[in-house]
Amino acid sequence: METQERKEHLHIFVDGRKFEEGDGVRPEMTGGQIAALVGVPADNAVIREESPEKREIGVNEVVHIKNGEHFLVTRKEHLHIFVNRRKFEEGDGVRPEMTGGQIAALVGVPADNAVIREESPEKREIGVNEVVHIKNGEHFLVTRKIVEGGYVV
């Protein structure tokens, strides 16, 4: 009697959901293609291989897919800060490193007339040319210098 081996269709699990060849699973895929299966754009994705080892996969990195392999896709946290209680994000000009003057510009205060204070994690004054390493969710207070009769008081 001949035994007929049944070929198992290539499939993976992404965020607990099963995806097969008909869904776009291929023997070799990039991290970005894996993220696309769950609707997360590659430029906003962090992809982790959960089996056989736990590791992060680059969006352009090619992965040799093993049948039944598990992946986890999360969205990157977008960098944002608060200036005078208003939230500003990367699209508004927030960068990982900013000068005090750049922070003041977010609220329309010219650098030559700005007093910039970091409110969290520590309270301190920041110079207009001082470079600050931005921490996500950090708070700043920007005020104007007092000018009377053309002189800074």
Closest CA to 142 of 122, 127, 121: 127
Query: So what's the pLDDT on residue 42?
Result: 82
pLDDT tens, position by position, 61-92: 999 999 999 999 887 777 899 999 999 988 89
The CATH number of whichever domain residue 19 belongs to comes to 3.10.20
Could you tell me if residue 94 is inside a domain?
A: yes
Query: So what's the pLDDT on residue 7?
Result: 58
Does the pTM surpass 0.95? The reply is: no
Could you tell me if residue 31 is inside a domain?
A: yes
Residues 96 and 120 in one domain: yes
What's the domain range around 68? 11-75
Domain count, the chain: 2
Residues 115 and 141 in one domain: yes
- Is 60 exceeded by the pLDDT of residue 153? no
Residues 95 and 128 in one domain: yes
Residues 70 and 87 in one domain: no
Asked if residues 103 and 83 have their Cβ atoms less than 8 Å apart, the reply is: yes
β-sheet with 80-83: strand ranges across: 86-89, 80-83, 138-144, 114-118, 124-126
Query: So what's the pLDDT on residue 34?
Result: 93
pLDDT tens, position by position, 96-130: 899 999 999 999 999 999 999 999 777 999 999 99
Q: DSSP character for 84?
A: T
Could you tell me if residue 87 is inside a domain?
A: yes
